[in-house]
Structure 1
Amino acid sequence: MSTPLIIGLAATLLAPSDLPAKLVQNPLYKAGALPATACKEPALKKNDAASAKRYLTTVFSCLDRTWGTYAKKKGLPYKRPTVHIMTVPGKKDVCGTEWQHDYVANLCGTTIGIMLKDHMLKKPDPLALMDMAAGMAGHVFLDRVGISDATIGQIPTITDAEQEEINRRELLQRDCMSGVFVGSVWKSLKRPAKDWSALLKYRERTGDDFVGGPRLRGDSESIVYWMKRGYAKRDPGACNTWTASARQVR
């Protein structure tokens, strides 16, 4: 693992007491673990957008069933997100943006847009696609329970560094929610443990210390920490990044 570009913040820039209650004391955190459920994985073929779309459609159905059942049982708000999967360059995504080169998934409100680009089809990685779908669906679920909305215009930010920290906490919470879902369906996937390890290795390379630029996503160590935490606990309550130490959200 590479050394993070910026490490060792002495303390959080914003204390939990500075944050809205919906972030730090949300009822979701006390709802309990996600039950083990089953999810099928359709065949994923090389250079075949149709099979990738079919795979993602199946995973999103699993996500809807899993989170929808959980929310109903726990008395939490839930509504299935709208999902658009694009396979043709040149069209606009769900936010009206042209086909982009720097991202493959987009969220506009509670509508999820996925762009299946060439590099995703040349070497298709089923678990990477599942993680992407689970992260986006987890983000929408966090929006339903008021967590995402509470980060918009309700936090007294002063500096760019504070805003970056908020962004990291939000996206690392999404990573943890992905881990919660994957952990809940892992047994049904009948995959060896090395596949989970391979996914974590892949996600390490998406950290700020690998890609450079603003510190918006979290470094590789933080991403892996929250994914592993969600996977092991299978509990959204384990994903409260808003009360975590600065070291855990670098």
Structure 2
Amino acid sequence: MMVQRRSEFELFYDSSYFTTRQLHPVAAVRLSFLGYARWAAEHAAPFPTMIAEHHAGFAVVGIRLDYGRPFTFLDGTRLQMSSTSRLLSQLTLMETVTTIVSDTTHLATVSLLCRALDVAPGDGMLAAPSRLASSVVGSYRPEEIDQDDKPVDHVEAILSRLDATVPQLVEGTSQRLIDRQLCEAADQWCFTEVIGLVASARETLIDDRADEFPVLRTGLSQRLCQVVVKLRRPLFLHDRAAIRTRMYTDHERRLFVHHISGASGAVHAIAIETLEPPQ
């Protein structure tokens, strides 16, 4: 039986890869996409070549980060990543999954769901949703293609359960300019930075209202166990984002739900952070 091909790499990390509690969520997602870039270079085409010569690219539309065992900066010295890639939904979606370990300790698994794009020639990298270019599809093995698979919408599944059964505790709104530090090569927000944006919004809510709602402080003291993100449309350089953040308590777990909107009020992304229960 054939198995999906993997790309594997290792790095010796520094303190910037970690918060005081765990592997930094932004670092985990960055490592995941780096894992896909390596997979593509080894088995299909390097990402810049894919865009420049095959006029094909991907836009990340979904992120799922699941943390494993507790692990902090001083618990090891290096990280090992292993990534796969497969095509889904009539060749319109690509899923890449990266596991992150340190020797025998599993730190995290990151799944990125990406929409295939047709990229126009030229430096502007204008793109539109499309089936993936046949010249790139040909690099995938049959066991790496499932045209009928339609991924689960993890964000909507959690929201439906919360809205039906769990009362909201507190909410707040913060503002953020999408500056170039948050952007990627096409001058639109970089999906990895959305993870940091919502973490900042959570801590802003805590800073603003923890005296009134002390339970908010668990948003600083507890480890994240999961982050899921649904990206609907990009924000561009110097757009202004409003992030509406709500906190829920579901049994022993605390959840922070974020809706990121642009100037028109349209929602551009929804993210849900789930914290580990207090010990």
TM range (shorter): under 0.3
Q: Which has the higher strand share?
A: 2
Higher relative contact order (CA 8 A, sep 6+): 1
- Normalising by structure 2, report the TM-score: 0.23
Larger Rg: 2
The alignment's TM-score, normalised by the length of structure 1, stands at 0.25
